[in-house]
Amino acid sequence: MTPTNIRINGDRLISRLMALARIGDTGDGGARRLALSDTDKLGRDLFVSWLKDVGLDVHIDKIGNIVGILPGSTDAAPILMGSHIDTVGSGGKYDGALGVLGALEVIETIKESGLKLPRGLAVIAFTNEEGARFQPDILGSCVWTGDMTLAETYPITDSDGKCVGDELDRIGYLGAAEPGFLKPRAYLELHIEQGPVLDQEGGGIGAVTGVQAISWSEYSIVGEPNHAGTTPMKYRRNAGLAAARITVFADDLTRAIPGTVANGGVIAFEPSNVNVVPGRVVMTLDLRNPDDARLADAEARMATFVAALQREAGVTIGRRELANFPAQPFDPTMIGAVERAAQSLGYPVRRMVSGAGHDAQMMATVVPTAMIFVPSVKGISHNPAEHTEPADIIAGGNVLLAAALELAHDLDAAAGG
Ligand code: GLV
Ligand code: MN
Ligand code: MN
């Protein structure tokens, strides 16, 4: 039987979340800790100091993933929990941090309780989940699961030409451990929902059934810079107009293909002057759909549109794929464990698909995986105003604890581990 009376220390979890958020504090409630930046290093250092304070075995792997392990009483495969502590350029306090610090809180709570679990528990902070600085996103978990190699990832550059391998080394997080060195029985990730559903529809816990498919593209559009007053419209080769038309076409696709969401997140004009027709634009497009076939349809329609647009607008358009991940369902037994944990604590729980990408989608390809969502106030995320009520943070932490306890005792399910 798993004990049901143990609870996390909510104040400690929240105070660690606030302490981490002070690193890279943007002064407007948010945080900026781009992957492998100086602020990411400081956030990592703080996290590692907490792992050591709790007495965990700390390992850094060759892609900078940070792992803390509390051994169990047998050598059965441990339960791994975690997320990421990097942020987007103007991020909030909770995206990723909650999953990492929630996992640490669960482990510390169990250690303090004196309970001896047959399975060990481990926490992981994955490198560059956000993909805001280096693409693709979920890089650390892609390497952990073997989906990408170190040789592929080290040369990836940011917009200033700095590469992953050099930046890992520079900040002191090019570790010695092999990515994937720990073979867990299961992976659990606590996360804020980052959308409005739980907040608008009664709160409680989300038992996440999977992550939708994601496609990121960068378009490089080349036209001709020219005088904005003297050049008759029919003679212009306007890269800026082509970029606008790509954005609008993608937005139209969201109404044409059910489930599609689209976002033009980066756009850079060159030259960028009031009276010059833009000659060159680099822009990004983020397309997602819970259904792989529908996302493929959206990508195909985009490609046809872009080909026609080149001719029509007199520009050339190159496309570079930045990320492409299929829809990833989670393990039914693990989803059930999350539901049981929430119900045992008296929280309403509903099944939902994640709109955001997460390290869990990679972990799900190698180990039974599920995620726990807590409400995001007004559904706001990737924004300094991102907020989750303390009671929901604590509820999420306790659901993670209850699910981890159930899984850590479940030696019968340990086929091969
Ligand atoms: C990760 O934050 C994503 O873009 O879904
Ligand atoms: Mn996240
Ligand atoms: Mn994010």
**DSSP states of 245-262 as a string?**
HHHHHHHHHHHHSTT-EE
Task: Give residue 416's pLDDT band: very low, low, confident or very high (50, 70, 90).
Answer: very low
Q: How far apart are CA 63 and CA 173, in angstroms?
A: 8
Buried b (16+ CB within 10 A) or exposed e, 301-314: bbeebbeebbeebb
Tens-place pLDDT, residues 5-58: 899 999 999 999 999 999 999 999 999 999 999 999 999 999 999 999 999 999
CB of 137 closer than 6 angstroms to any ligand 1 atom: yes
Residue identifier of the C-alpha nearest atom 1 of ligand 1? 357
Q: How far apart are CA 159 and CA 161, in angstroms?
A: 6
pLDDT at 412: 56
Q: How far is CA 116 from CA 56, 108, 202, in A?
A: 15, 13, 37
CB of 397 closer than 6 angstroms to any ligand 1 atom: no
Domain 213-325 is of which CATH architecture?
2-Layer Sandwich (3.30)
pLDDT at 207: 98
Task: Break the chain into its structural domains and give their ranges.
Answer: 10-212+327-416, 213-325
Query: Is the confidence at residue 1, as pLDDT, over 70?
Result: no
| Interval between CA 381 and ligand 3 midpoint (Å) | 8
pLDDT at 410: 76
Q: How far apart are CA 401 and CA 338, in angstroms?
A: 10
Query: Is the confidence at residue 415, as pLDDT, over 50?
Result: no
**DSSP states of 290-353 as a string?**
SSHHHHHHHHHHHHHHHHHHHHHHT-EEEEEEEEEE--EEPPHHHHHHHHHHHHHTT--EEEEE
Q: 10-212+327-416: which CATH topology?
A: Aminopeptidase (3.40.630)
**DSSP 8-state secondary structure symbol assigned to residue 412:** G
Which atom of ligand 1 is the closest one to the Cα of 95? 2
Tens-place pLDDT, residues 314-373: 999 999 999 999 999 999 999 999 999 999 999 999 999 999 999 999 999 999 999 999
| Interval between CA 17 and ligand 1 midpoint (Å) | 20
Tens-place pLDDT, residues 73-84: 999 999 999 999
Residues facing residue 218 across a β-bridge? 284, 320
Instruction: Report, as an integer, the average pLDDT of 219-244.
Output: 98
Instruction: Report, as an integer, the average pLDDT of 398-413.
Output: 87
Say if pTM beats, i.e. exceeds, 0.85.
yes
pLDDT at 417: 43
